[in-house]
Structure 1
């Protein structure tokens, strides 16, 4: 009887990444927490906007964990008697919208300019790099303060300002990657086959650069969220009646001595979200790199063998 050696089928990419995520419990918890944040951002305002805006001066600065008031008051109430939990959930949408919009816009613009600077001629590359140098020559928060003071604080202005200050991060990273990738054999082969520059850039080079950019975007999301919170804390970010986590911290700073919870809970939300994004970024850096992916796969295989 002849035995046929069969090679086990390669798992689908989604299943493979799910297994690697299961192997890193910290990243798994971070993803679950970020999913909760995403759900809050999507349904929060429609669900709790009325409760977050309703004032009750008899319950102003109510302390947390008074369960007789109801679950919405588990984090206490602000200076106007509005439940903090409801306001944190509603504020999630504005906070995430500003961060996501700024990261998306800066990533697209920076990546496109970086691809052009890395693949085009020296003169075009130098012009684009000087543009990045001009942006980087000023502190990002200083640019945001000046522009928002002139144009006025709003969600759209905040997204535009924060995205412009982050473009050089993606531009320089993409250009450095392209300068190395364009010398590889598969790119040279595409040139010999007569592929156009556009096809080479977007079909052959961009997929190789994309994992690195995704990791940077995850970290940058946390940075932009902190920048938005800082601007709201200074009073030039989102303005009432709109709310963000940073604005809630700013509104509670004058009550720190006798009502610490007004700033503590939104600050904790920022810390946990930033920490989760950093853990996810660290996992993505390994999972998307073929030379390091074996670490997670080996860990999952070891756990399966022990079970």
Structure 2
């Protein structure tokens, strides 16, 4: 009996400690158990630090030209070599991290805010409101995303800012449809019906109940969408519709160097590697967040 009582006491103690553990700590522990997700987080943090400390890390200015040093191979003086204008590729990649991450973060921020608002309105009110918003999403999704982005930039004009706007626009339907489907299930919960029964206003229900309970898929989608946005920004830059010279955007660097593929392959290799690693980091981190935050994945 004494041993049974001791075991019971230990079980109660463990359960009590588990209940006292904050949810975010448990989520962080689960995230850390996913080694690939931790690697992805490390890559993302590395590029963020590089972007913030670009003036300190870069040995040269990204726009300094020295034609006598054009297309030099990687060396101790120029770690990643030089391009066709004699500019240091390492410095341009370091400064380019600022452009790519800025476009990725703010494009996804804008699309997530607008898409979430439209998705919540469509899912909560339904009927003709849902029909109109859903048809708008369907029309936007009917076009290949890169073609829609090209159309937006063609209207606004080629620049980094307009590329950011275009990428934000084409990602709105992804967030809108995701949030709409979540809201359709959440609004059927008993606590939402109880809030309506006591006369709570719609705005308060949306902000205090619907939105907080729809944040999990939004966070996961946003993390994965940043990777997609970086690729789309590079694609627009490659086509000459994004950043303009001498801005050191990775896609633009690839476009400017493609004619030197055989003569100076490092001019394409290092910008392409930077894009690949950044996108890989966000994808791995997003997969880890999905595993932690999605109840279906936990099961």
1:169 to 167, 174, 184: 174
Aligned to 1:53, the other structure's residue is in SS state coil
Residue aligning to 2:61: 51
Task: Report the number of matched residues.
Answer: 289
Matches within 5 A, 1:134-149: 134-149=139-154
Residue aligning to 2:22: 12
Q: Which moved more, 1:210-219 or 1:14-23?
A: 14-23
Kindly indicate whether the alpha-carbon contact (under 8 Å) linking 1:45 and 1:93 is maintained by their aligned counterparts in 2: no
Kindly indicate whether the alpha-carbon contact (under 8 Å) linking 1:49 and 1:90 is maintained by their aligned counterparts in 2: no
Shift in alpha-carbon separation, 1:47–1:74, aligned structure 2, 3 A? closer
Residue aligning to 2:212: 207
Matches within 5 A, 1:66-215: 66-67=75-76, 69=77, 73-215=78-220
Cα distance in 2 between the residues matched to 1:170 and 1:26? 25
Shift in alpha-carbon separation, 1:133–1:164, aligned structure 2, 3 A? same
Deviation of residue 157 (structure 1)? 1.1
Q: TM-score, normalised by structure 1?
A: 0.87
Cα distance in 2 between the residues matched to 1:49 and 1:126? 55
Shift in alpha-carbon separation, 1:49–1:153, aligned structure 2, 3 A? farther
Deviation of residue 225 (structure 1)? 1.0
Cα distance in 2 between the residues matched to 1:290 and 1:142? 35
Matches within 5 A, 1:250-265: 250-265=255-270
2:245 to 236, 240, 243: 240
Deviations 1:65-86 (A, max 9, x none): x22x2xxx22111112222111
Residue aligning to 1:298: none
Deviations 1:77-108 (A, max 9, x none): 11122221111010111111111111111110
Cα distance in 1 between the residues matched to 2:49 and 2:106? 17
Kindly indicate whether the alpha-carbon contact (under 8 Å) linking 2:163 and 2:241 is maintained by their aligned counterparts in 1: no
Aligned to 2:58, the other structure's residue is in SS state helix
Cα distance in 1 between the residues matched to 2:265 and 2:211? 48
Deviations 1:161-201 (A, max 9, x none): 11111111111111111111111122122222322211222
Cα distance in 1 between the residues matched to 2:27 and 2:91? 34
Residue aligning to 1:22: 32
Deviations 1:246-267 (A, max 9, x none): 1111111010011111111111
Deviations 1:198-252 (A, max 9, x none): 1222211212211111111111111111111111111111101212111111111
Cα distance in 1 between the residues matched to 2:107 and 2:286? 18
Shift in alpha-carbon separation, 1:46–1:134, aligned structure 2, 3 A? farther
Deviation of residue 293 (structure 1)? 4.1
Cα distance in 2 between the residues matched to 1:150 and 1:30? 36
Aligned-pair RMSD on alpha carbons? 2.0
Residue aligning to 1:272: 277
Cα distance in 2 between the residues matched to 1:272 and 1:98? 16
Cα distance in 2 between the residues matched to 1:160 and 1:61? 34
Structure 2: stretches of 5+ with no match in the other structure: none
